[in-house]
Amino acid sequence: MSVRELSIEQVQRWVVSFLILAVASFPLGALTAVSRTIDREGRHSDAVLLVCVMAALGTLALAAIRLVHRRPPASPWLVLGLVPALLAALVAL
């Protein structure tokens, strides 16, 4: 089995990527809880707006991770940034 060694720069990129993912995850979780509460109060349009904000935040986080790895930010992979918002829409709305 061949083991590929990572340079210090590659390790730093992965660490920053995980930090971006962690920092973006906390607001996504909070927005899920808030949108669920708002929807139960009868403010459905406001809850939908929060889910849209979640979609934008998830997409921006993935674009930032791609930039850290020196990849073009526009990619089909950005669709994965919508996954937290879609899950929140299923749970909260």
Q: Indicate whether this model's pTM tops 0.85.
A: no
Residue 1 has what pLDDT?
Answer: 64
pLDDT at 5 > cutoff 80: yes
Distance CA 75, CA 57 (A): 16
Per-residue pLDDT tens over the stretch 33-90? 888 889 888 888 888 898 898 899 999 999 999 999 999 988 898 898 888 888 888 8
Task: Report how far apart, in Å, the C-alpha atoms of 3 and of each of 6, 8, 12, 14 are.
Answer: 10, 16, 19, 17
Taking residues 9-27, what's their average pLDDT?
A: 91
Distance CA 38, CA 69 (A): 37
Residue 63 has what pLDDT?
Answer: 93
